[in-house]
Structure 1
Amino acid sequence: MGTASTGESETWTEEDVMFVSGPTELSGILTQPIEKSPHPAIVLLHGSERAGIDSTFYTEHSHNLVKSGHAVLRYDSPGVGRSTGSVIGESLEDRTREAISAVRYLQSREDIVSEAVGLWGHSQGGWICQMAAAEYDGVAFIIPVSGPGVTPAQQEVHRVEMQSRAAGFTEDEVAKAVLMRRLLVDIVLPEPMFKEANMDDARLIGSGPWGNVIEWLYHEKLEPESQFAKSIETLVAIKDESWARFLFAEQILQMFEGLSPETWGNVKASLGAVMTVDPENFLTKVKVPVLAIFGEADAYLPVAKSVDLYRRYLGEAGNEEVAIRIFSDADHAILVDGDPASGYYDTIVEWLSRLALS
Structure 2
Amino acid sequence: MERKRRPVTRVLQGKKMNCAPDGEKNIKTMKRRRILLTLLSLLLSAGIMTAQKTLKDIEGSWMGKLSAGGVELRLVFNFTLSEADTIKATLDSPDQAAQGIPLGSVTLAGDTLYISAPMLLGSYKGAMVSDSLVTGSWTQAGKSYPLDVRRQGAPVVINRPQEPKPPFPYKSEDVTFSNKVENFDLAGTLTLPEGSGPFPAVVLISGSGAQDRDEALLGHKPFLVLADYLTRNGIAVLRYDDRGVGKSKGNMSRATSLSLADDAEAAVTYLLTRPEINNKMIGLAGHSEGGLIAPIVGSRNSNIAFIVSLAGPGVSGYNIILKQTRDISAVSGVSEKDIEETISTNSKLFEMVIAEADQRQLAKDAMEWYNKELDGKAVTTEERKDLMAKFTQALLSVNNPWFRYFLAADPAEYWSQVKCPVLAINGEKDLQVSAEMNLPAIKSALKKG
Normalized against structure 2, the TM-score is what?
Answer: 0.55
Matched, 1:277 2:277: no
Aligned to 1:11: 169
1:316-327 equivalence runs, <5 A = 316-317=448-449
1:77-226 equivalence runs, <5 A = 77-190=242-355, 225-226=360-361
Give me the whole-angstrom Cα distance separating, in 2, the residues matched to 1:153 and 1:94: 19
Q: Which moved more, 1:298-307 or 1:75-84?
A: 298-307
Contact conserved, 1:8 with 1:14, CA < 8 A, in 2? no
Specify whether residues 47 and 280 from structure 1 end up closer, same or farther in structure 2 by C-alpha distance, changes over 3 A only.
same
Q: How far did 1:251 drift?
A: 6.8
Identity %: 28
Contact conserved, 2:322 with 2:343, CA < 8 A, in 1? yes
Matched, 1:229 2:364: yes
Q: How far did 1:64 drift?
A: 1.6
Contact conserved, 1:239 with 1:250, CA < 8 A, in 2? no
Instruction: Give the structure with the larger strand fraction.
Output: 2
Deviations 1:247-282 (A, max 9, x none): 8x64753x69xxxxxxx7xx46x6433321112211
- Give the root-mean-square deviation of aligned CA atoms: 2.9
User: Based on CA coordinates, which of the two structures has the bigger radius of gyration?
Assistant: 2
Q: How far did 1:96 drift?
A: 1.2
Matched, 1:287 2:419: yes
Give me the whole-angstrom Cα distance separating, in 2, the residues matched to 1:140 and 1:223: 39
Q: How far did 1:225 drift?
A: 3.7
Deviations 1:48-92 (A, max 9, x none): 023112532221121122233111111111111111111112122
Q: How far did 1:240 drift?
A: 4.7
Instruction: Give the structure with the larger helix fraction.
Output: 1
Q: Which runs of 5+ in 1 are unaligned?
A: 1-6, 192-221, 257-263, 318-358
Give me the whole-angstrom Cα distance separating, in 1, the residues matched to 2:208 and 2:384: 24
Instruction: Give the partner amino acid of 2:174.
Output: D
Give me the whole-angstrom Cα distance separating, in 2, the residues matched to 1:310 and 1:238: 42
User: Runs ≥4 in structure 1, deviation > 6 angstroms?
Assistant: 235-239
Among 65, 76, 81, the residue aligned to 2:230: 65
Give me the whole-angstrom Cα distance separating, in 2, the residues matched to 1:240 and 1:296: 35
Q: How far did 1:19 drift?
A: 0.2
Contact conserved, 1:103 with 1:117, CA < 8 A, in 2? yes
Q: Which moved more, 1:20-29 or 1:7-16?
A: 7-16
Specify whether residues 43 and 226 from structure 1 end up closer, same or farther in structure 2 by C-alpha distance, changes over 3 A only.
closer
Aligned to 1:33: 193
Aligned to 1:352: none
Specify whether residues 239 and 74 from structure 1 end up closer, same or farther in structure 2 by C-alpha distance, changes over 3 A only.
farther
1:233-252 equivalence runs, <5 A = 240=386, 250=393
Give me the whole-angstrom Cα distance separating, in 2, the residues matched to 1:301 and 1:240: 29
Instruction: Give the partner amino acid of 2:201.
Output: A
Matched, 1:309 2:444: no
Q: Which runs of 5+ in 2 are unaligned?
A: 1-164, 372-381
Q: How far did 1:285 drift?
A: 1.2
Count of residue pairs brought into register by the alignment: 266
Give me the whole-angstrom Cα distance separating, in 2, the residues matched to 1:173 and 1:117: 47
Give me the whole-angstrom Cα distance separating, in 2, the residues matched to 1:190 and 1:231: 12
